[in-house]
Chain A
Amino acid sequence: MKKIIHFLWTAISFLLYKWLIVIIRLIRRLCTAWKKNKKDKKEIPRRIRKATKSKCVPIRHPNYHKPDPMIYSQNYLMELGLAVTWDNPDIQLYLKGNPVSSEALEPDTEYEIVARCWNASYDAPVVGMPVTFSYLDFGAGAISINIGQTFTSLGVIGGSDNPNYAKVAWKTPSVAGHYCIQVRLEWTDDKNPKNNMGQENTNVVEAHSPAVFDFKVRNNDTKEHRFRVEADAYTIPPGLPCDEIKKLGARKNEIVRERNNRKNFPVPAGWAITYIDPVFSLAAGGERMVNVQVTPPAGFTGSKPFNFNVFDERNVLTGGVTATIVKS
């Protein structure tokens, strides 16, 4: 009974006068909000009211663009499942204007290193991009020693200066040695920052049955890792003519992956490659030499390049070298 009375009273009171109370309350609230808004507007300058409080704001406006500076990057291509060579097609050394190979550099000699830089963006050019050159002691993963920095600019795809060439002079150390040259394209707001570091690391080894050489591996991570060396006979295949690419259509990427699949470039039959320690562990910051012996098949003459890639237990490429075995 109480509930019925309450129900009836609620209905009647709202019909009689409470609706008016609600409306008055609502109007008061609106007035308060309006006054506060007016006060805020008066006291806080518009530019401050409108400014976002965050120091980092996402932007996806179609007129905002990111470039994609790139170079032949072994780590990136390997991550995509492609075979790589350490004879980098985008890095070339010159001595007195003549191209020279990086495997036999004279000590205390001034070379020019040229890096071919690309921009894989249709929308965003790059101006004043720092290009940093450095070198490692022969081998994989050692600490970079700075050579120098220059700046270059890249147009969009189809535009001017794409590719463009960054050049730096480099006087080799006075002690003879072998060096891995690294080129890094420094662009903070990069659509794909993974393809910005290329390395040139080649060696020529005379085969005195067998050919013997070694290279240094360094663990640059903060944790201990277990490393292994894998060899393959990959070289960059000849470029595809435009007409052929057109015919491939949607199958192009599949064909390119197949043409550059490491499984298709095993060490050829008759060649024997051995390591003193094929698998080894390195503590954080640790380094060691890896000794390699390459025995060519009987009767072999000429030259044959091999890539020696160093992976850790996660299959992350740590470094490598392309060694050309020669026998006259």
Chain B
Amino acid sequence: MPFKQYTHCTPTADFDPFNQPLVTAAGLGGIIAMIAALFLAAAIPVAGILLVLAGGGFLLAAIISTFEYLLGGKLICLDGDKLAIGSVLSIETASSKSGIDAMDNDFSINILLCPHQKIVPDSSTVFEAANLPDSDVSNPLNFQDFLVQEQTESSQHGIPYTGYESAPFKTKTNFHIELEGSRIHDMYEAFLAAWALLVAFAIAAAAVAAIPFIGWLLALLLMLFGAGLGAAIAGITWATSDDGTPDDLDPSIGEIHINDILVSYGTWTYDSGHNSDLNAGWNELHPVKFLSRAERCADSKEAVEWQDKINEALNIPDFRGAEEKHPLVGSVYHPVLDGCNADGEPPVIN
């Protein structure tokens, strides 16, 4: 069964905190250099083109650094794929984000890990630390509490661990899981395309800037056109990126309610994306590769069964449309009525 994934996590040995001032300086410096190159090109065309290339290089470095960080650099790999079962505490849809935050159009859910329950039962759409039990990994019943414990993979970097998403949640049993939207990935590609266009137009602009009298005007028009084209690519990509509600999916899917029991399976990571602005960091499943509702909180034995069955579903070949001799493949009514059985007989109950 295929699943959508746009990010990757970074092994702890390769993790570097994001240097925002440096990246911002590189990006702005690159743009300024490209504009300055036009004036320089009017006097010395070759020097102007070289400055365009240098500025373009800085800009590209800034773009790559930013998006590689967003698409994986900020996530430290913990211990592979994990299962997390719990009740829904709150839901963060892509549409609930605004401004630059909306670049990340992941669909996030906060769950209370099984077997824990809220201290005071409620169906509120938000949660408070005071209403959540503390984790206790020494109790074997709390077989999932390790998911919200600080791990050496992150602690060795001296970055904060707060739980999601501030200090009061450090000892709590709420766990953050994210189904990925495509916007960051799509915008990365759009920015690279826009960058390529901008550099190409800047080179052309530097070349025409040397033309007497009208050269500067032509260069300006070319740069404006290139910038406009790049902005259009980025804007259209932003507007059309998939935030997890594509129209081509089965309309019968689905609804999530507060307090529903969810079974999620995905990559266990530490998210360092808010180390700087919130002085916070937490463990999460990112991306969630499989999500489904369950009838009840699982115990450790049932959790193993979930994990085995989900792994099987994720790795088994997709038989849709295949000639696999299984009674359910292609069955519309019931396998006894329309299933293909290798023996030509309905499968016998046993």
Which A residues fall within an 8 A CB radius of B? 37, 45-67, 70, 72-73, 77, 80, 82, 89-92, 114, 116, 118-120, 122-130, 153, 155-163, 165, 186-189, 191, 195, 236-242, 245-246, 252-253, 256, 259-260
Q: Is B254 a contact of A118 with CB atoms below 8 Å?
A: no
Judge whether A124 and B328 touch: CB under 8 Å: no
Q: Considering the complex, which residues of chain B in the window 236-270 have a beta carbon less than 8 Å from any beta carbon of chain A?
A: 244-246, 249-258, 263
B316 sits at the interface (CB 8 A): yes
Among A55, A119, A163, the most chain B Cβ lie within 10 Å of the Cβ of A55
Query: Which residues, 313 to 333 on B, are CB-close (under 8 Å) to A?
Result: 313, 316-320, 323-326, 328-333
Considering only residues 283-340 of chain B, those with a C-beta below 8 Å from chain A are: 287-296, 298, 302, 305-306, 309-310, 312-313, 316-320, 323-326, 328-340
Set of chain B residues within 8 Å of A60, measured between Cβ atoms:
244-246, 249, 251, 253-254
Q: Is the CB of B295 within 8 A of A186?
A: yes
- CA separation between A241 and B338, bound complex, in Å? 10
State whether the Cβ of B157 lies closer than 8 Å to any Cβ in chain A: no
With contacts A63-B179, A120-B328 known, is A57 near B93, CB below 8 A?
Answer: yes
Quote the shortest CB–CB distance from A52 to chain B (angstroms).
5
Question: Once the chains bind, are A52 and B253 in contact (CB under 8 Å)?
Answer: no
The binding surface of chain B is classed by DSSP as: loop
B347 touches A188 (CB 8 A): no
Interface pairs A-B: 10 shortest CB-CB: A125-B309, A241-B344, A189-B293, A61-B244, A51-B90, A242-B340, A256-B338, A239-B346, A50-B92, A156-B313
A118 interface neighbour in B258, B323, B335, Cβ under 8 Å: B335
Distance, CA A63 to CA B312, complexed state (A): 15
A16 to chain B, nearest CB (A): 29
Instruction: Report chain B residues within 8 Å CB of A92.
Output: 349
Q: How far is the CB of A18 from chain B (nearest CB, A)?
A: 28
A159 touches B4 (CB 8 A): no
Chain B's closest residue to A159 (CB) is: B312
* CB of B117 within 8 Å of the partner chain: no
User: Across the two chains, which residue of chain A brings its CB closest to B176?
Assistant: A47
List of B residues within 8 angstroms of A45 by Cβ? 165-166
Q: Which residue of A lies closest to B85 (CB)?
A: A127
CB contact under 8 A between A63 and B92, given known A114-B349, A158-B319: no
Contacting pair B254 A256 (CB below 8 A): no
Contact between B244 and A59 (Cβ–Cβ < 8 Å)? yes
A52 to B125 CA separation, bound complex (whole angstroms): 7
CB of A126, distance to nearest CB on chain B (Å): 8
Count of chain B residues with a beta carbon within 8 Å of a chain A beta carbon? 84
**Cα A25 to Cα B127 with chains together (Å):** 39
Closest A residue to B5 by beta carbon equals: A63
With A119-B328, A125-B310, A239-B336 given, name 15 new contacts (CB 8 A).
A46-B278, A47-B92, A47-B127, A51-B96, A51-B125, A56-B258, A59-B253, A60-B249, A65-B253, A82-B337, A155-B312, A159-B309, A191-B253, A245-B330, A256-B338
Assess whether A46 is in contact with B165, with CB atoms less than 8 Å apart: yes
**CB contact under 8 A between A62 and B310, given known A67-B292, A127-B294, A240-B338:** no
Q: Which residues of B are found within 8 Å of A162, using beta-carbon distances?
A: 328
In the complex, 26 of the A-B residue pairs with CB atoms within 8 angstroms, ordered by the A residue number, are A37-B99, A49-B96, A52-B125, A59-B244, A61-B107, A62-B4, A62-B244, A64-B292, A65-B290, A82-B337, A90-B349, A91-B349, A92-B349, A118-B328, A119-B328, A120-B328, A122-B319, A124-B292, A127-B305, A128-B295, A158-B328, A159-B309, A187-B295, A236-B346, A239-B345, A245-B340
How far does the Cβ of A110 sit from chain B's closest Cβ, in whole Å?
19
Contact with A along B84-99 (1 / 0, CB 8 A): 0000001111001101
A242 contacts across to B, CB distance below 8 A:
323, 325, 340-342, 344
